[in-house]
Structure 1
Amino acid sequence: MNVGIVAQRDNRRATSLAARLAERLRALEAGVVFDETTAAALAADDGRWPDGDSPPATGVTVDAMADCDLVVSIGGDGTFLYAARGAGSTPIMGVNLGEVGFLNAVAPDDAVESVVAEVEHVRETGSARTREMPRLRAEGDGWALSTAINEVVVHGPRRGHGGGAGFEVRVDGSLYTSGSADGVLVATPTGSTAYNLSEGGPLVHPSVDALVVTEMAGEESMPPLVIDDDSEVTVRIEEATEGVVVSDGRIRRAVEPPERVRLARADDPVRIAGPGRDFFAALGKLA
């Protein structure tokens, strides 16, 4: 059995925990795979590595984590999103070193034992205990972005005065809204607590099968819309020199208006291993 470990960049606490976790897993004769950034941090400081072992010379790209049986993300929600893009359908367990951690349910003090328990469960049953969260796909004519866990944003050349565009938004072919705005955001329930919330969109409990459509700084603003997660949203961007489609704030694609972007739930959900997160307890940290 192989466990992939992704620790938050430039976080000594995350790297130290990654080393302790690896030591315990190797004692259980489980294979350990680090991403390139974590491996480099361990190699740069032997003091972070358990006694009697040598730090790894190199790691793997995050995309290679899909070949593991379990992936462990140590850090905040950004680290989880990064790891999950590479993990594919492999179960991923999030260890929360951040302030809120909607995607990370495991406390640092419980991390080693929680991972060990999941490894033993996989060995006994052949599969991890997981719950699924939807991803979003965004595509146009001849292109598609990496799927998103939180949201996909379609916006003009830049945010703010003079940087918006004309948008037409349809849900399953029916016109919802049109007009000038900075952009249009489509979020999953997981992403409702992130960028969507800062743009005035609603919170959605993770147990609800829904998507959220939120207009960003529209001239004639329409209220956010919650729709069934089987729906397809079509965003047409026009009246701009350039458009940009962004998946989870990291993967970007420039498009030339007029362009029609199709957004819908992806076929491959995120599979989260480990204990469930208390949604309302996490909300309290937003205050």
Structure 2
Amino acid sequence: MSEFQNIGLIGRTESGSAVFSLKRLMAFLEQGGYTVILEQETAAAVTGQGQGARISSKEKLGEQCDLVIVVGGDGSLLAAARALAKFSVPLLGINRGRLGFLTDITPDEIETKVGEVLAGKYIAESRFLLDMSVSRDGKPFGRGSALNDVVIHPGEFIRMIEFDLFIDGQFVYTQRSDGLIISTPTGSTAYALSGGGPIMHPKLDAIVLVPLNPHTLSSRPIVVEGSSEFKIVVREHNVARPHVTCDGHDQVITLPGDVIRIHKKPHRLTLVHPIDHNFYETCRSKLNWQVS
């Protein structure tokens, strides 16, 4: 018997192709005798299919499921990760987005690859997330979490922002730039890569800080220990009101004097991959690395 019996499904409901793959996946799971639990919005998108499936909120899936399968793009998996990491339920991704670094099963492999995972043939990877909080006058007023990155940026206006950076209580620098990306290894192939940051292997216990268009050519990306704690103080001279986003969501708008704190989340996420998953092959295919 498979270790995964209760299987949650989350889908990119605005995508017709994702809904098609969801229905195909549901039929496969139900034929195999698995208990299917649909996330609420996903259930609404597949009306008429899977009448025996249970329906649950995204958070409750973490309590009820042995495995959650996400059908969509990396953004869909990031959202599921933020909601479910605290429950330690593993996630498996089927790609119905564009790049698909995290959702690595293609639609035409659903029965084959998902079947292998359910039979115990898979690779499990542990990934860490970041917790972010913002305080004003010593009182917290905004927070969020991220699997990829926390980004500080000027918001809707293109203006340089100025801030002080501290790592583990030690002053690092005062920077004027378009912002700063604080990225996990998982996020190193996302926005941080576009900003000139290094690609980090997912197994690394490290965090990279990538300045966005800094006002000095000597300001370069910094890779630090994964247990590091960051404090960013928004300086008084800012004309813009710096925004803080987590994986592009959970936006907090700051004021001069606000303090942003970022550190590793205590709960880790387990990502499940097919048995033939290879990080370097993913990089070759997604980033178009040269093959002789």
**Fold match, TM over 0.5?**
yes
Larger strand share, 1 or 2: 2
**Unmatched 5+ residue regions in structure 2?**
none
* 1:135–1:269 contact (8 Å) kept in structure 2: yes
Q: Distance in 2 between matches of 1:188 and 1:26?
A: 36
Match of 1:152 among 150, 153, 163: 150
Superposed CA offset, 1:109-133 (max 9, x none): 33234334444549xxxxx962101
Aligned pairs (5 A) from 1:170-185: 170-185=166-181
Amino acid at match of 1:153: V
Aligned pairs (5 A) from 1:41-120: 41-43=45-47, 46=48, 49=49, 54=51, 59-67=55-63, 68-88=65-85, 89-120=88-119
1:26 alignment partner in structure 2: 30
Cα gap change, 1:265/1:2 in structure 2, threshold over 3 Å: closer, same or farther?
A: same
Further displaced range: 265-274 or 22-31: 22-31
Q: Distance in 2 between matches of 1:8 and 1:130?
A: 23
1:55 is displaced (CA, Å) by 8.5
Aligned pairs (5 A) from 1:1-287: 1-43=5-47, 46=48, 49=49, 54=51, 59-67=55-63, 68-88=65-85, 89-121=88-120, 130-141=124-135, 142-143=140-141, 145-158=143-156, 160=158, 163-221=159-217, 222-238=219-235, 239-240=237-238, 242-275=241-274, 277-284=277-284, 285-287=286-288
Alpha carbon RMSD of aligned pairs, Å?
A: 2.4
How many matched pairs? 272
* 1:101–1:282 contact (8 Å) kept in structure 2: no
Q: How high is the TM-score relative to the length of structure 1?
A: 0.85
Amino acid at match of 2:188: S
Q: Distance in 1 between matches of 2:225 and 2:117?
A: 33
1:144 is displaced (CA, Å) by 5.4
Partner of 2:262, secondary structure, is: strand
Amino acid at match of 1:34: L
Amino acid at match of 1:39: A
Superposed CA offset, 1:50-89 (max 9, x none): xxx5487x94332222122110011211111122222222
1:5 is displaced (CA, Å) by 0.8
Further displaced range: 251-260 or 190-199: 251-260
Further displaced range: 277-286 or 258-267: 277-286
**Unmatched 5+ residue regions in structure 1?**
123-127
* 1:159–1:182 contact (8 Å) kept in structure 2: no
Q: How high is the TM-score relative to the length of structure 2?
A: 0.84
* 1:211–1:226 contact (8 Å) kept in structure 2: yes
Partner of 1:134, secondary structure, is: strand
Cα gap change, 1:211/1:159 in structure 2, threshold over 3 Å: closer, same or farther?
A: farther
1:103 is displaced (CA, Å) by 0.8
Q: Distance in 1 between matches of 2:199 and 2:62?
A: 30
Partner of 1:266, secondary structure, is: strand
Further displaced range: 97-106 or 212-221: 97-106
